[in-house]
């Protein structure tokens, strides 16, 4: 199982991003059945928040476009929506306290806790995820190189 971080989702739709080619190539192949792909609502909401915001996204999507993209991703046969399990609060607290994480790292800690619960890696361009013990963070570039 591979859990996708918000940045990979944003780069997959932003053709101007240097990370676009790797993000869209990996995501398309993974959703075609190459990998089980985990989506957190946190990452999906982050995608909608960022891509519909004209201050952040140069050519913002309409809410309908962003939601249509989310529906397309979730309709893929290898897509799974991951929800926190019974151990999530305990794992999250351990990660937050161990790293002294606060502020912007709280969402990363949540994603890391989901990854630990699901024995998954996190697909991201954010190096912060690798700070959390027990989490394996990989980039789409890494995964594409391994697939060759």
Is 5 annotated in a binding site? The answer is yes
Residue 47 · residue 6 · CB < 8 Å: yes
Return the pLDDT at 33: 84
CA distance readout (Å), 67 to 48, 118, 125:
7, 25, 23
Please give the model's pTM, rounded to 2 decimal places: 0.94
Q: Residue 120 — very low, low, confident or very high, per pLDDT cuts 50/70/90?
A: very high
In whole angstroms, what is the distance from residue 8 CA to residue 144 CA?
14
Q: Residue 147 — very low, low, confident or very high, per pLDDT cuts 50/70/90?
A: confident
Residue 121 · residue 141 · CB < 8 Å: no
Percentage of the chain beyond pLDDT 90 is 81
pLDDT in tens, 2-45: 999 999 999 999 999 999 999 999 999 999 987 799 999 999 99
Burial zone of 89 (CB within 10 Å; 0-12 exposed, 13-18 middle, 19+ buried):
exposed
Return the pLDDT at 76: 96
Q: Residue 125 — very low, low, confident or very high, per pLDDT cuts 50/70/90?
A: very high
* Of the candidates 1, 4, 40, the residue with the CA atom closest to the CA atom of residue 123: 4
Q: Residue 58 — very low, low, confident or very high, per pLDDT cuts 50/70/90?
A: confident
Domains of the chain by range and CATH? 2-147 (3.40.50.1010)
* Gyration radius (Cα) of the chain, Å: 15
* Of the candidates 138, 43, 27, 121, the residue with the CA atom closest to the CA atom of residue 76: 27
């Amino acid at each position: 199982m591979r859990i996708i971080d918000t940045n990979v989702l944003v780069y997959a739709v932003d053709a101007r991003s240097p990370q676009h080619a790797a993000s869209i190539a990996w995501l398309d192949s993974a959703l075609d059945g190459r990998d089980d792909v985990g989506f957190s609502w946190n990452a999906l909401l982050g995608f909608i928040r960022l891509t519909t915001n004209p201050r952040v996204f140069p050519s913002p999507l309409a809410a309908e476009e962003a939601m249509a993209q989310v529906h397309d991703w979730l309709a893929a046969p290898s897509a799974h929506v991951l929800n926190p399990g019974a151990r999530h609060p305990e794992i999250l607290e351990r990660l937050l306290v161990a790293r002294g994480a606060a502020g912007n790292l709280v969402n990363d800690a949540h994603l890391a806790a989901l990854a630990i619960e699901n024995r998954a890696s996190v697909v991201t361009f954010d190096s912060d995820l690798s700070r959390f013990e027990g989490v394996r963070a990989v980039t789409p570039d890494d995964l594409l190189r391994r697939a060759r």
